Structure 1
Amino acid sequence: MTILKWSAMLVGLGLVNTPAVMAAAFVSDQATAKGFVEDASLNLLLRNYYWNRDNQNGAPDARDWTQGLQGVFNSGFTQGTVGVGVDAFGYLGFKLWAPDEYAVPGYTSGNLTEGADGHPDSHYGKAGAALKLRVSRTLLKIGDQQPSTSPVFAVGGSRLTPVTVSGLQLMSSEVDNLDLEAGHFYSGTSQDQTNRDGSLWAAYANRPASAMDFAGGRYAFVDTPWSLGLYGGRLQGIWDQYYGNLNYTTALSDSQSLAVDFNYYRTTDQGAAKAGAIDNNTFSIAAGYSFLSAHTLTLGFQKVNGNTPFDYVGTGDDNKPGDSCFIANSVQYSDFNGPGEKSWKAQYDLNMAPYGVPGLTFMTRYVYGDGIDGTHLSPSSAYYGMYGADERHHETNLEAKYVVQSGPARDMSIKVRQAWHSATAGDPDGDANEFRLIVDYPIAVF
């Protein structure tokens, strides 16, 4: 996670993920359309991924080494009042090394599909496309997509190939500094599955839903360092969820800046309440101070209020959690989202560019959570029995990343991530040490 969760959600729009950068508009103007072919692009991403999760307390370990190819085609828009275009993707994944002993169902890395025998497949592929229609600065997309901007429904790409979902999304940037969006999605494909008709889920509750609907947007106050985000979403038959964000970012000098980010979720059961009664509000606040153009110190606090954990949407027939968890202390291994949990975070980021090594960055953080109490849950709740009383846990993360700056391998990145997580006996996250090595090589074909 980064200092500003609101900024982090804009990565899917190609935005640099730093507090000093203003968010790009969701939709550009149809008046700038150059043509379906003239403004088209085809990008490839070669991803080499080594995963090693050492589960403690007798749980099976997960280890594999994989190679992925992600191809993404984005057409331009036809000219005229209504612009028409297509976005399409094709993903391939290959097993380089994945012994069966480290691929126990329920404990896998999520980087490979599984065969009928439960063992990792040697390769897999999936593809999809969406039709897009643009009028003025309003865009409608229909089909297979990767929504990333909604804090109540977003899917991610932290494994070999990304999560995708099927449905409709409407985005509008007609008013300067105001971006609005709404969506209706009815199926999902997790990162380690290929069928396009997988379910949507309440991730922690492990209950399927027929559809996810959401609406909301963000507004950047003119000539001020403030921005505001408001969203609401309904996971059919399970919950209504509302989200608010207040973000403050200001430059203190040429080499110093301050960023404060507040996130709030309110979740209540809805309709058939298939996960049981839910009455939860969760908030986080993080403050980051950047200095000498290289260093950033961040402190965060997060609190879950209610008898249920903070939950969010999962995808695919195997219910892999998505990315709609815009709270400060959701980190590499744990979300620190247990019922009643309080958690604190301290994080340090270092950018080596001012010291003569552009492209090299480091990060370390520590998160501690306690006060988890799952003893007030009704036996009819989907979360019943998941948590004990007075549970606590902590996690330490280290990360190093280098992006090649020039030459034939320009923009290739090498990222090393390490997590150590330790918990009391009743915490469902358990004890684990996790190492990831990810090499990404993007290629712009045209």
Structure 2
Amino acid sequence: MKKELSLIALSLFAAIPAVASQQSDSQGFIDDSHLNVLLRNAYIGRDYQQGAQDRAEWGQGIIAIYQSGYTEGVIGFGVDGIAQYGVRLDGGRGRSGAGGIDFFKQEDDGRAKSDLAKFGATAKMRIANTVLSYGTQRPELPIINSDASRLLFESYTGAMLNSKEIDGLEINAGYLTDEQRKSDDRHDSGLKSLSFGGASYQFNDQLSGALYASHVEDVLNKQYLGLNFKQPFSTGQQLVLDFNGYNSRLDQGYANELNTGRSNSIWSLAASYIWDIHTFKVAYQQSSGSTGYHYGSYRDRGGVGDGGNTIWLANSYWSDFNGEDERSWQASYGLDFAGLGLPGLSWTTAYVRGDNIKTAETSNGKEHEWFNQVQYQVQDGPAKDLKLKLRYSVLRVSNSASDYNVGGNEIRAYVEYPFNVF
């Protein structure tokens, strides 16, 4: 992996004249520094069906992120830091511990942590428009995506390279050796190593694409392809086509642990039509192979360890509709209330239906989900950028597919207030 990173870096430096250098515009370590704080109050409750125990967790978190500028010169140096603290407001009495919620890790006695403090730091170096960093990392890529959708952030430890030397082209590569789960301050989540690389490219104003690959040691190899096309019309309307696809091959030992096959291909194609304040979307998603699509969770819990949001597919809400051989259809509608005199308020509803799920009991398991989300962001005044989000999902899974997924009703309620200190 070190050899690959060196070759990538050399090729990028050769292309430096292609665009203006960000490093040459550096104002210095202090002058370009920023400190941002996020206050987040989050609740997720799940009323499971099919005899499963209900789960719920509620917490208050504070996340402070410091980003320094770069020292002036041909090579710039800087340091970033992150501090996170969470307090459990509810989730005891046997209701904590759901893998999909994961606010506060359960201790050996079965009780959830009452509070949680996490810290991380990253050293970084920039040449022209290329940044090499080592330390706490929070990648947001289709092939490895740290989960920031719960109370506190998931993170990794390792080296990453990001380059934007050529106009429209962004290259990312990395080698990670530790994963720190969202709900704990320890780094020993069982990950041995994860290496990845790839690029995204903006071909023109309408078409963009991305191609990535990753290797999780002793777990799997995965490739991703994404394409996005936007067609605006003179009427102000717009058609958006979005394709996302993954191809995975599990390590034989990992497949044996899960008692499943080794190969999976999954893809989705979504078509959205934006008409003034309305967004209409239809999507189709198809999984094929000898196993379902595997991602996220933690190695010491039998998961992949590549990030809780590493599923850039159209039909991923509460359920991901990623079972073995599953196919699913979606119809959704979104409304931006700004056109009705209420800027900052939006509503999205979606219905997804999946079938053909292969399990030990059947070759045609079924599931369907009705998703609703209302979100409001304050536009001005003392509470500017305060965001309120309420989400409700109804998921039903056929009894024959209960070893793949469990249905129920889910509520998510978030209050978030981000602000800039300097």
* Partner SS for 1:31: helix
* 1:355-408 Cα deviation digits (max 9, x unpaired): 111000000001000001135xxxxxxxxxxx7431110011100000011111
2:229 maps to amino acid: Y
Give the number of aligned pairs.
394
Letter of the aligned partner of 1:113 in structure 2? K
Residue of structure 1 in register with 2:48 after alignment: 55
Q: Which amino acid aligns with 1:406?
A: D
Match of 1:169 in 2: 160
Say yes or no: does 1:87 pair with 2:80.
yes
TM-score using structure 1 length: 0.85
Quote the offset at 1:140 in angstroms.
0.7
Cα deviation, 1:398-440, whole Å, max 9, x if unaligned, reads 0000001111111000000001100011232211100011000
Alpha-carbon separation, structure 1, partners of 2:144 and 2:223: 11
Decide whether the 8 Å contact of 2:181 with 2:187 is kept in 1: no
Separation in structure 2 between the aligned mates of residue 213 and residue 114 of structure 1, nearest angstrom: 29
Is contact 1:190-1:316 (8 Å) kept? no
Structure 1: how far apart are the matches of 2:99 and 2:338?
Answer: 39
Q: CA deviation at 1:98?
A: 2.7
Instruction: Report 1:134-153 matches (<5 A).
Output: 134-148=126-140, 150-153=141-144
Gaps of 5+ in 1: 1-26, 201-209, 376-386
Q: Which residue of 2 aligns with 1:445?
A: 421
- CA offset digits 1:141-174 (Å, max 9, x no partner): 10111100x2111112111101001111111111
Is the counterpart of residue 252 in structure 1 residue 212 in structure 2? no
Matches of 1:404 and 1:28 in 2, distance apart?
Answer: 36
Letter paired with 1:132: K
2 CA distance for matches of 1:282 and 1:107? 23
Q: 1:107 to 1:179 in 2, by over 3 A?
A: closer
CA distance in 1, matches of 2:100, 2:155: 19
Q: Deviations over 1:246-279 (max 9, x none)?
A: 1101211353111001112111234x54224412
Which letter maps to 2:216?
A: L
Which residue of 1 is the match for residue 4 of structure 2? none
2:356 equivalent to 1:364: no
Q: From 97, 110, 120, give the equivalent of 2:102.
A: 110
Partner of 2:311: 325
Residue type at the aligned position of 1:285: L
Q: Trace 1:12-411 onto structure 2 (pairs within 5 A).
A: 29-103=22-96, 105-106=97-98, 109-148=101-140, 150-200=141-191, 210-222=192-204, 224-253=205-234, 255-270=236-251, 273-276=253-256, 277-292=261-276, 294-315=277-298, 317-318=300-301, 319=303, 322-331=308-317, 333-375=318-360, 388-411=362-385
| Other structure's SS at 1:408 match | coil
Q: Quick check: 1:308–1:374 contact (8 Å CA) kept in 2?
A: no
Q: CA deviation at 1:315?
A: 3.6
> For residues 163 and 213 of structure 1, do their structure 2 counterparts lie closer, same or farther at Cα, with a shift above 3 Å needed?
same
Distance in 2 of aligned mates of 1:123 and 1:391? 40
Q: 1:416 aligns with which of 386, 390, 396?
A: 390
Shift of 1:237: 2.2
1:232 is paired with a residue whose SS is strand
Q: CA 1:199/1:125 → structure 2, altered by over 3 Å: closer, same or farther?
A: same
Distance 1:274 1:113, change over 3 A: closer
Counterpart of 2:22 in structure 1: which amino acid?
A: D
Report the residue type matching 2:421 in the other structure. Answer: V
Change (3 A) 1:343 1:297: same
SS of 2:339's partner is helix
Contact map agreement 2:143 2:214 (CA 8 A) in 1 = yes
RMSD: 1.8
CA contact (8 A) 2:212 2:224 kept: yes
- Secondary structure at the residue paired with 2:94? helix
Structure that is richer in helix per residue:
2
Which blocks of at least 5 consecutive residues in structure 2 are unaligned?
Answer: 1-19
What is the CA-CA distance between 1:100 and the residue it aligns to?
1.4
Paired amino acid for 2:312: F
SS at match of 1:357: coil
Q: Which residue matches 1:207?
A: none
Query: SS of 1:398's equivalent?
Result: strand
* Residue in 2 that maps onto 1:12: none
> For the Cα contact (< 8 Å) 1:66–1:97, is it kept in 2?
yes
Look up the SS of the partner of 1:100 in the other structure: coil
Report the TM-score when normalising by structure 2.
0.89
Residues 42 and 413 in structure 2, CA contact (< 8 A), matched pair in contact too: yes
CA contact (8 A) 1:214 1:232 kept: yes
Q: Please identify, of 84-93 and 238-247, the stretch whose mean Cα deviation from structure 2 is larger.
A: 238-247
**Runs (4+) off by over 6 Å:** none
Counterpart-to-counterpart distance in 1, 2:187 and 2:26: 31
CA distance in 2, matches of 1:404, 1:47: 15
Residues 44 and 72, structure 1, Cα contact 8 Å, conserved in 2? yes
